[in-house]
Amino acid sequence: MNGSTIEDINRIFGDAGNEDTFDEFPTGQIRTDSNPLEPAEAEVERVARSRIDQEASGRTGRNGKDQPTEPKTTRCDHLLTAYLDRLRSGEADTLYRLGDTLDGMEVGSGLITTLAAPPGAGKTALASQIMFEALANDDSLIVTIANAEMHFDTIARRELSRRSGVRQRDIRFGNLTSYDWEKLDAAQREIDPLLRRCRWLEPPHTFNQLETLLNAEPGFLILDYLQKFALANVEARLGVNAVMGLLRLLALKGWGILALSATTRTRGKGGSSHDSTQLNLASLKESGECEFNSDSVYLLRDIGPIQKKQWLRHVWLACVKNRHDDTPTVELEFRKPKMEFVKYEQAVDEHDFGQSNAEPFRDDEGRF
């Protein structure tokens, strides 16, 4: 536990009149005067529960003296009037406009939207597509990307490929024709105005770094992925709980949040695996607070290849929780070479993607 955490614990649970004061040990344990060397979480929980019981009963105050406690309440008719006043002034909920393919997905200001999928299923690609669509449809929107998984170059390469049609592999290794460069230059001209309103959260990718956003102007946060930002030196579940609590604070300040989540392995006769068709709400890794604190949860389920093409996937974007509305499933095509999701009913464009079961190929002029 870091110094600030110790100070917070002492401030909340300890004072000059309390015999239990905390100090940090290099082993990550906490010492108390009354009970040396208990594990940090156990000791914090013990003192917290004791303090909560005391405060709830009203028997003792912060200094151990008898004093009454008064609940803080607000009349609900006043809250209703305030809510209707906000509606009259145009302060209704709004969702980001995400284009024909994804419009209606519950992503917007004040909302925590969790997107979960196994590794390699396309959740980062989908998040990037959502981000660029939201930027294109709202000139005032500011985006912050907190990505602990990839360098910005990887995100840029994917978007350049999606817009230009140039294969990612060719961009990555610089195998580019003059025609490719024409398309990449055109893609850059499209992207530049959007990226002016996009910020990249620099390392370290930690809970404390994420916490600095509380002091920033609210915008749209892309968090990839939330388990990577868990509070350090505590049990994994508690660390993720802390992240979800922080995300709720950001949402209350007006941030729209798209949080990507890892999933747990499914177990079958052949052992454990990442079978996305078996995902459910409990599949979110360290799922407790992820489930409860999210306004909506979407799962990417890979149903299988389309027309036996391994690079063209039939995908379900399944909403398994929505605090405010329906929980629909949207059928999509995931076109891996371009890292692009389109509506499933759209016909496969063989000119763009080639006609073999392998990855799309080029013709003699360098076109797909």
Does the pLDDT value for residue 344 go beyond 90? no
pLDDT at residue number 282: 66
Q: Which CATH number fits domain 95-297: 2.70.150.10, 1.10.3720.10, 3.40.50.300, 1.10.10.1100?
A: 3.40.50.300
Mean pLDDT, residues 90-110: 89
| CB count in 10 Å sphere of residue 69 | 13
Mean pLDDT, residues 75-97: 92
pLDDT at residue number 262: 82
261 token code pair:
């989540």
Instruction: Evaluate whether 96 touches 103 at the Cβ level (below 8 Å).
Output: no
CA dihedral sign of residues 357, 359, 364, 365: positive
Give CA–CA dist 64/59, Å, rounded.
Answer: 9
| Sequence ranges of the chain with CATH classification 3.40.50.300 | 95-297
Contacts for 335-338: CB closer than 8 Å, 24+ residues apart: 335/311, 336/122, 336/311, 336/312, 337/161, 337/167, 337/168, 337/311, 338/161, 338/162, 338/165
Does the pLDDT value for residue 149 go beyond 80? yes
Give CA–CA dist 306/349, Å, rounded.
Answer: 12
pLDDT by residue (tens digit) across 191-235? 999 999 999 999 888 888 999 999 999 999 999 888 888 887 788
Give CA–CA dist 325/247, Å, rounded.
Answer: 21
Band of residue 270 on the pLDDT scale cut at 50, 70, 90: low
Give CA–CA dist 171/280, Å, rounded.
Answer: 36
Band of residue 38 on the pLDDT scale cut at 50, 70, 90: very low
pLDDT at residue number 335: 87
Residue 313, strand partner residues: 305, 334
pLDDT by residue (tens digit) across 309-336? 888 889 999 998 899 888 888 899 988 8
pLDDT at residue number 311: 85
DSSP string, 152-219: HHHHHHHHHHHHH---HHHHHHT---HHHHHHHHHHHHHHHHHHTTEEEPPSP-SHHHHHGGGGSPP-
pLDDT by residue (tens digit) across 235-269? 877 888 888 889 999 999 999 999 998 877 666 55
